[in-house]
Structure 1
Amino acid sequence: MDDLGYLEDPGDKLGMLDGQAFRAARVIVDIGMHLELPIPRDNPFGFHPGERWNPELGWEFLRAHCRVPDENLRFELNRYLGWPGQAPAYKVGERIWLQARDEAKARKGADFDLKEFHREALNLGSLGLDPFKAAMSRL
């Protein structure tokens, strides 16, 4: 939305950045909980160093780092408990999208049309990550 000029207002841009921070926190919690990883001892938040991720720590982390109402956070936490890998897959898909966009810009130069790229990408519909990457590379 920012690239298309819809986030001129600083509050709108801040909302976008807040959403990105929320998605990053979900990735941390999803991976940590499902792999039962230890929280790094030297984490910059001083958050339970050395303890293993679990749903209670996931809840505490989300509440401390996300500006989302508790009922929404609880829903998100429960969703990640029942859908392992969803948050990281979303972020991988985002990276594929951005890489494909950069490659299309480089390939098409002055003929690149951002709105057209997004329209064609959205018209691909729902795809797994590998087919998505292959299809995006053809745009």
Structure 2
Amino acid sequence: MRDLGYLSDDGDLFGMLAQQLFRAARVIVDIGMHLQLKIPAGAGFHPGKRWTPDLGAEFLLTRTVLDPAEARDEIDRYLGWPGQAPAYKLGERLWLTARDEARQRAGHAFDLKDFHTRALELGGMGLDTLRAQLAHQD
């Protein structure tokens, strides 16, 4: 949205950045809980303990701008939908990489709005297929 000229209001920009922070934090919590990983030393958060739903909620509350009810709802969501948070981030990363590659191929002729329109018109598909389709959008 910022690349398209939106988010000039500081409050809107903060909202976007807060959501990016939230999405990164939930990847940590999702993977940590489902793999029952130990929290690494130097992380500044309960080093050596294994991730639990309570620690996940605490992490979200201390690392994002969620309120306690939202944090608990998110933990319940991850427990019922393992891998959704990391999958979302992988999709976002693929999209941004494909967009950067299209920008490099097109040079000054690259049109951000046109790229997004054409990409969205492809419809739903798996990430490998999406990557291949976006590589041939020029």
User: Does TM-score exceed 0.5, indicating one fold?
Assistant: yes
Distance 1:59 1:114 in 2: 37
1:99 is aligned to 97
- For structure 2, the 5+ residue unaligned runs are none
Report the residue type matching 1:71 in the other structure: A
Q: Partner of 1:130: helix, strand, or coil?
A: helix
Per-residue CA deviation, residues 13-64 of structure 1 (Å, 9 max, x unaligned), is 1111111000011000001001111000111xx2110001111111111111
CA separation of 1:72 and 1:126: change in aligned 2, threshold 3 A = farther
TM-score, normalization: structure 2? 0.93
How many pairs align? 137
1:89 is aligned to 87
Matches within 5 A, 1:98-137: 98-137=96-135
- 1:80 offset after TM fit, Å? 0.8
Per-residue CA deviation, residues 80-99 of structure 1 (Å, 9 max, x unaligned), is 11111111111111111111
2:4 is aligned to 4
- 1:73 offset after TM fit, Å? 2.1
Q: Partner of 1:77: helix, strand, or coil?
A: helix
Distance 1:75 1:137 in 2: 37
TM-score, normalization: structure 1? 0.92
